[in-house]
Chain A
Amino acid sequence: MHELSVANEIINIASQYLPDNSGRVKIIKLKIGTLSNILVDSLIYCYEAAVKNTLLHDSTLVIERAPIIINCKNCLEEILLDVIDNVCPNCGSIDIEVTGGDEMQIVEIELYDKPEE
């Protein structure tokens, strides 16, 4: 639901990496966790709307989904999951801690080779 706020933050951060007035951002690579409550299609839609009339107008988001990571306190395994069922898939314990999967990170920014003529 807050994908527009997130899109605006991405624009704010990525704008800081424009080398000068002629530099242009081509791709912004994001890592979005499965538990982040972000709908990827909606984020792309909001980004495309928000980025118009900014220096990033011809940039594209590339989104990598980050898996859920749980640490089981019973069998001491660290397990990566796409879907969480609130029990350890290894031993069935409910004594698990979710240690990853809610990240929203800008991983890297790729610039166009040549400035626009």
Chain B
Amino acid sequence: MSIITIERKVLEKNDQVAEQNREIFRNKKIFVINMLSSPGSGKTSIIEKTIEMLTGKVKIAVIEGDVQTDLDAQRISKLNIPVIQIVTNGACHLEANLVRDAFDKIQNTGSDLLIIENVGNLVCPAAYDLGENEKVVILSVTEGDDKPLKYPAMFRKSDYLIINKIDLIPYTNCRLDTLKSNALKINPKLHIFETSCTTSEGIEEWCCWLINKVSSH
């Protein structure tokens, strides 16, 4: 009987490419965020609002990840921002090599901030490092205040949480204090933003944080 002890991480290849991405981003002096959430939480709307507010202040590029269509890239390109759409054709998450290949096409746009919008999924993308500086998880109030407890990995691996659609709270049974305490139970270090892309509430605070991060990067 021949047994070979190897002790290798199953996702080591992704982790290696993610580290290479991190090095590329560092050399390009670009700050990178990976936006994670379930479908329909408002990731693309937050990105649009962010672009509107930061135009002239920060040069932004966007990588969009979706299972099908380039609808999101079409929305972003209307704002005259370099954008690449990754269509995963069924895969439930982005992987580091997909981001590397996409970034290759926009690396010479002189951007200071790269926003990666991951595939809408509150489970799998948590396991895949893309080489980003920060993971930002988005949860909209219409999804319910119990979701951090039910899908903890994403909240544990992110340092930042955006609670979106806060203008809809009166029409839901979501309690903002319960949502926040549930999220902090999973990750006491979470920094929380509260936003609405309809009223623009909280977008300025989020953008101020981004500007600080980009300029101190």
Is B one of A's binding partners? yes
- Which residues on A are within 8 Å of B, measured CB to CB? 1-2, 5-6, 9-10, 12-13, 17, 30, 35-37, 84, 86, 94-95, 98, 102-111, 113
Contact B10–A106 (Cβ < 8 Å): yes
Q: Which chain A residues lie closer than 8 Å to B91 at the CB level?
A: 2, 5
Instruction: Say yes or no: A106 contacts B186, CB within 8 Å.
Output: no
Complex CA gap A106/B10 in Å reads 6
Binds A, one of B50-58, B106-114, B121-129, B159-167: B121-129
Q: Quick check: A9 and B11 within 8 Å, CB to CB?
A: yes
Cα of A2 to Cα of B188 in the assembled complex, Å: 28
| Contact status B123-A108, CB under 8 Å | no
B89 at the interface (CB under 8 A from A): no
Contacts of B1 in A (CB 8 A): 110-111, 113
| B37 → A minimal CB distance (Å) | 15
Q: Are A106 and B7 in contact (CB under 8 A)?
A: yes
| A104 pairs with B2, CB closer than 8 A | no
Q: Is the pair A2, B127 in contact by a Cβ cutoff of 8 Å? A: yes
Whether B13 is near chain A, meaning CB under 8 Å from some CB there, is: yes
15 contacts between A and B (CB under 8 A): A1-B121, A9-B13, A12-B13, A13-B6, A17-B6, A35-B153, A37-B124, A86-B185, A98-B156, A104-B10, A104-B127, A105-B10, A108-B3, A108-B6, A111-B1
Q: Which of A30, A37, A94, A98 contacts B10 (CB 8 A)?
A: A30
Residue B78, interface by CB 8 Å: no
The reply to whether A17 and B7 form a contact with Cβ atoms under 8 Å apart is: no
| Residue of B with least CB distance to A104 | B10
| Complex Cα spacing A94 to B183, Å | 12
> Which chain B residue has the least Cβ–Cβ distance from A5?
B91
- Known pairs A9-B11, A30-B10; A94 contacts B188 (CB<8 A): yes
- CB-based nearest A residue for B95: A5
A13 touches B8 (CB 8 A): yes
> Nearest B residue to A94 by beta-carbon distance?
B185
Q: Does B123 contact A109, Cβ atoms closer than 8 Å? A: no
Give which listed residue, A35, A98, A111, contacts B4 with CB less than 8 A: A111
| Given A1-B121, A113-B2, CB of A6 within 8 Å of CB of B185 | no
Given A10-B10, A111-B2: 13 more A-B contacts, CB < 8 Å: A2-B124, A2-B127, A12-B13, A17-B4, A37-B153, A103-B9, A104-B9, A104-B10, A104-B11, A106-B9, A107-B7, A109-B3, A111-B3
**Is A13's CB under 8 angstroms from B12's CB?**
yes
Q: Considering only CB atoms, which chain A residue lies closest to B5 in the complex?
A: A108
Instruction: Write the chain B residue with the least CB distance to A7.
Output: B10
B115 near A: Cβ within 8 Å? no
